[in-house]
Amino acid sequence: MSDVPPTPPIMVGGYGSGGGYKFSDDEVDGVIKQWEDLLTNMRSDLADARAIAEVQKPADEFASSDFVKGGADPSGQTLLQQHQRMYDYVNNFITALRAAKNKITVDQQNARDNLKSGA
Protein backbone atom coordinates (compact mmCIF):
# COMPACT_ATOMS: atom_id res chain seq x y z
CA MET A 1 0.00 0.00 0.00
CA SER A 2 1.72 3.22 1.08
CA ASP A 3 5.15 3.69 2.61
CA VAL A 4 5.61 1.57 5.71
CA PRO A 5 8.51 2.64 7.92
CA PRO A 6 11.34 0.12 8.13
CA THR A 7 11.58 -2.16 11.13
CA PRO A 8 14.18 -0.99 13.65
CA PRO A 9 17.19 -3.22 14.36
CA ILE A 10 16.43 -6.15 16.66
CA MET A 11 18.91 -8.18 18.67
CA VAL A 12 18.02 -11.45 20.39
CA GLY A 13 20.74 -12.78 22.62
CA GLY A 14 23.90 -12.02 20.66
CA TYR A 15 22.27 -12.27 17.21
CA GLY A 16 21.19 -9.25 15.20
CA SER A 17 22.29 -5.66 15.00
CA GLY A 18 22.37 -3.19 17.85
CA GLY A 19 20.93 0.29 17.90
CA GLY A 20 17.30 -0.79 18.18
CA TYR A 21 15.60 -3.35 20.40
CA LYS A 22 17.44 -5.99 22.40
CA PHE A 23 15.78 -9.05 23.95
CA SER A 24 17.11 -12.09 25.73
CA ASP A 25 16.37 -15.55 24.33
CA ASP A 26 14.01 -16.08 27.27
CA GLU A 27 11.90 -12.97 26.76
CA VAL A 28 11.51 -12.84 22.98
CA ASP A 29 8.60 -15.33 22.87
CA GLY A 30 6.61 -13.12 25.25
CA VAL A 31 7.35 -10.06 23.16
CA ILE A 32 6.27 -11.85 19.98
CA LYS A 33 3.03 -12.92 21.69
CA GLN A 34 2.27 -9.32 22.71
CA TRP A 35 2.79 -8.10 19.14
CA GLU A 36 0.67 -10.96 17.77
CA ASP A 37 -2.13 -9.98 20.18
CA LEU A 38 -1.86 -6.40 18.96
CA LEU A 39 -2.07 -7.59 15.35
CA THR A 40 -5.21 -9.62 16.14
CA ASN A 41 -6.88 -6.52 17.59
CA MET A 42 -5.76 -4.48 14.61
CA ARG A 43 -7.51 -6.89 12.20
CA SER A 44 -10.82 -5.88 13.77
CA ASP A 45 -9.89 -2.19 13.59
CA LEU A 46 -8.88 -2.61 9.95
CA ALA A 47 -12.23 -4.22 9.13
CA ASP A 48 -14.03 -1.31 10.81
CA ALA A 49 -11.92 1.20 8.88
CA ARG A 50 -12.71 -0.63 5.63
CA ALA A 51 -16.45 -0.45 6.39
CA ILE A 52 -16.17 3.29 7.00
CA ALA A 53 -14.10 3.81 3.84
CA GLU A 54 -16.65 1.95 1.75
CA VAL A 55 -19.70 3.85 3.00
CA GLN A 56 -22.36 4.32 0.33
CA LYS A 57 -24.75 7.21 -0.04
CA PRO A 58 -28.20 6.31 1.23
CA ALA A 59 -29.97 8.04 -1.65
CA ASP A 60 -29.19 9.48 -5.05
CA GLU A 61 -29.66 13.12 -4.13
CA PHE A 62 -27.42 16.12 -3.45
CA ALA A 63 -27.08 15.98 0.34
CA SER A 64 -26.14 12.29 0.41
CA SER A 65 -23.81 12.59 -2.58
CA ASP A 66 -22.13 15.70 -1.15
CA PHE A 67 -21.67 14.06 2.26
CA VAL A 68 -19.97 10.98 0.78
CA LYS A 69 -17.95 12.83 -1.86
CA GLY A 70 -16.85 15.75 0.30
CA GLY A 71 -16.38 14.15 3.69
CA ALA A 72 -16.99 10.49 4.29
CA ASP A 73 -15.03 9.11 1.34
CA PRO A 74 -11.80 11.14 1.72
CA SER A 75 -11.80 10.74 5.51
CA GLY A 76 -12.62 7.04 5.28
CA GLN A 77 -9.88 6.42 2.75
CA THR A 78 -7.34 8.20 4.96
CA LEU A 79 -8.49 6.20 7.97
CA LEU A 80 -8.16 2.95 6.02
CA GLN A 81 -4.73 3.83 4.65
CA GLN A 82 -3.37 4.72 8.09
CA HIS A 83 -4.76 1.57 9.67
CA GLN A 84 -3.29 -0.52 6.84
CA ARG A 85 0.11 1.13 7.28
CA MET A 86 0.10 0.38 11.00
CA TYR A 87 -1.08 -3.20 10.39
CA ASP A 88 1.70 -3.75 7.84
CA TYR A 89 4.29 -2.26 10.21
CA VAL A 90 3.23 -4.53 13.09
CA ASN A 91 3.20 -7.57 10.79
CA ASN A 92 6.70 -6.70 9.53
CA PHE A 93 7.90 -6.21 13.11
CA ILE A 94 6.61 -9.66 14.09
CA THR A 95 8.45 -11.18 11.12
CA ALA A 96 11.65 -9.39 12.16
CA LEU A 97 11.25 -10.59 15.77
CA ARG A 98 10.78 -14.18 14.60
CA ALA A 99 13.77 -13.89 12.29
CA ALA A 100 15.97 -12.59 15.11
CA LYS A 101 14.70 -15.34 17.41
CA ASN A 102 15.47 -17.97 14.75
CA LYS A 103 18.82 -16.27 14.06
CA ILE A 104 18.07 -15.93 10.35
CA THR A 105 17.41 -13.03 7.99
CA VAL A 106 13.99 -11.47 7.49
CA ASP A 107 13.95 -12.82 3.91
CA GLN A 108 14.56 -16.34 5.21
CA GLN A 109 11.80 -15.89 7.80
CA ASN A 110 9.40 -14.68 5.09
CA ALA A 111 10.22 -17.80 3.07
CA ARG A 112 9.54 -19.98 6.14
CA ASP A 113 6.26 -18.21 6.80
CA ASN A 114 5.20 -18.59 3.16
CA LEU A 115 5.93 -22.32 3.27
CA LYS A 116 3.89 -22.69 6.47
CA SER A 117 0.92 -20.80 5.03
CA GLY A 118 1.07 -22.62 1.69
CA ALA A 119 1.59 -19.36 -0.22
| Domain map (residue ranges) of the chain | 10-104
pTM tops 0.95, yes or no: no
Residue 2 pLDDT > 70, yes or no?
no
Could you read off the pLDDT of 66-93 as tens digits, one per residue?
888 888 889 999 999 999 999 999 999 9
Cα dihedral: 10, 7, 117, 26 (round 10): 20
Q: How far is CA 1 from CA 16, 57, 85, in A?
A: 28, 26, 7
Residue 23 phi, psi dihedral angles, 5° rounding: -130, 150
Averaged pLDDT score across all residues of the chain: 91
